[in-house]
Every structure is written in C-alpha cells, then in structure tokens.
Structure 1
Amino acid sequence: MGSLSPESDNDPRYASVTDERKRKRMISNRESARRSRMRKQKQLGDLINEVTVLKNDIGKINEQVDVATRRFMEMESKNDVMRAQALELTDRLRSLNSVIEMVEEISGQDLDKPEIPQNPWQIPCPLQQPILASMFDC
C-alpha cells in the first residue's frame, strides 16, 4: 500500500511542520542576532565610557605631574640658593677662623674655633630648631 509516512516530502503535514520549524529557527536566529548586536553595542558603549574615564584620569595625572614638576623646580631653585648661601657662610667662617688665629697669635691664648665642614649639606643641626631663611640673610 502506498500510505504516506510523516517523513515523506509529499505529506502536507510534514511540510507544514518543517515550515514551522524553519520559521521558528529563523525567528530564533533573528532574536539571537538582535541580542548579539545589542551586546556588541553595549560593549562598544562601555568601551567608549571607559575611554572617557581613562582620558579624564590621564588629564588629572598630567595635572599632578605638572604640579609636582613645578614644586620640584621650586625646591631645586631654593636648594640652589641655599647651596650658594652655605658656600658664602663657609667662606665667612674661614675668614672668621683666620681672624681668630691672628687673635690667638697676638694674645697667646688658645681660642675655640668652629670646625669648617667639608660638605655644607652635612652640617649637624639640632632637630628642635628649624633653620629659618632669615638666618642666612646676613
């Protein structure tokens, strides 16, 4: 007998089931593609936001670097002034020690002479008394 099986291409029920499956698969694929596009769009938006945040961070860091650079330059300038003042004071101390030596020769007394440091930056200073700029303005 020539009864049609459901798998037969000639069976209208099979054709409608196949068409329904194709339609559902197509709808599912479209939905999947839509979700994929939405994910990619969200990822792109997230990356754009991250770039914006990172650019802002870079701007802030650059400002901090500029401030630190200015402070460094100011300190370097102040250090240069202090080095010059320390050299001048060392020269004055040498001159005063020469005067003390002359006084010792004339008077015959042994006077205490301050030691002249080899490196003015290693002058021992009491921590309780900070060095004031006015101390160097002689």
Structure 2
Amino acid sequence: MASIQPQQTSSGSSGDTQYAGIDERKRRRMISNRESARRSRQKKQQHFDDLMAQVSQLQKENAQILQRINAASEMYGGVESENNVLRAQMLELTDRLLSLNSVLQIAEEVSGMAVDIPEIPDIMLQPWQLPCPVQPMVTASANMFQC
C-alpha cells in the first residue's frame, strides 16, 4: 500500500521566495493596519477635543445667559416695586381729590355759589381697568436653567 505524503519542499530558493513574499505582504499589511489604527485614534481624540471645546463654549454661553436672566429679573423686581409705589400714590391722590371734591360740594351747597368741580376720570377711580392693562410677568429664576 502506498501512502500519500505531502510533498516537502527543500530549503531551496523557490520555497523561500514564496514564503518571503507572503511574509512581506503580512508585514506590509500589519504596518498598514497599525497606521490606520493610529490615524483612527488621532481622529477620535480630535473629535473628543472638539466636543470638549464645544462643551466649554456652551457652558460659557449658558453662564452669560444666566447672568442676563438674573439682571433682567432684578430689574423687573425694581420696576415692579416702583410701579407698586406709584399705584399706591395714585390711589392716595385719588382719595384726596375725592375728599376735596366732597368739601367743594358741601361749600357749594352752603354758600349757594356754583363751584366748577371737574369730573374725576374713571381711569383714576378704577386703575385696574387701565387702557393697557399690566400683564403679570412670569419670573424665571436662573435655577430653572441649571442642570
């Protein structure tokens, strides 16, 4: 019985050249893969750096917006306070005017002389019905926007 054995190549020049070609291709492919992996890591790092810069910029913009919100809220509080003072003064002056008009009417009745008493405009008697009603403003605090 004849057994089949694989042919063995001698350590001649034709076998070495064949393996050398394969080894050279493997080596070049390995170098190419390493270079590709290095470029991929660099690209990934650059993308990460870009994202971190964007995060920093957005945080800076967010802080500026929060400062503007706080300043606007503070200004609104001051204007609202001043408006409340002015409304109270208007009510007080309206009451004084009504009282003085009552005194003038009594003086007119007692003296019999006609006194010109101007009408008090409804706007002064009913400040809540101003032509441009004051709309309550929903105040936003800076804490609403913080994560």
Structure 1 and Structure 2 fold alike (TM over 0.5): yes
Unaligned runs of 5+ in 1: 5-9, 124-138
CA shift digits 1:22-59 (9 cap, x unpaired): 11111111011000110111111111111111111111
Q: Name the counterpart of 1:120.
A: 127
CA shift digits 1:82-134 (9 cap, x unpaired): 111011011011112212222332324262322242323638xxxxxxxxxxx
Deviates more, 1:114-123 or 1:21-30: 114-123
In the TM superposition, residue 11 of structure 1 has moved relative to its aligned partner by: 3.0
Aligned equivalent of 2:59, options 49, 52, 55: 55
Per chain length, whose mean CA-contact separation is higher, i.e. which structure has more relative contact order (CA < 8 Å, sep 6+)? 2
Residues 1:64 and 2:71 are matched in the alignment: no
In the TM superposition, residue 13 of structure 1 has moved relative to its aligned partner by: 2.4
Could you state the TM-score of these two structures normalised by the residue count of structure 2? Answer: 0.69
Could you state the TM-score of these two structures normalised by the residue count of structure 1? Answer: 0.74
Aligned equivalent of 1:74, options 78, 84, 95: 78
Q: Give the residue type in structure 2 aligned to 1:112.
A: I
Unaligned runs of 5+ in 2: 1-6, 132-147
Superposed structure 1 runs of 4+ greater than 4 Å apart: none
Residues 1:45 and 2:40 are matched in the alignment: no
CA RMSD of aligned residues (A): 2.4
Q: Give the residue type in structure 2 aligned to 1:119.
A: Q
Identical counterparts, % of pairs = 42
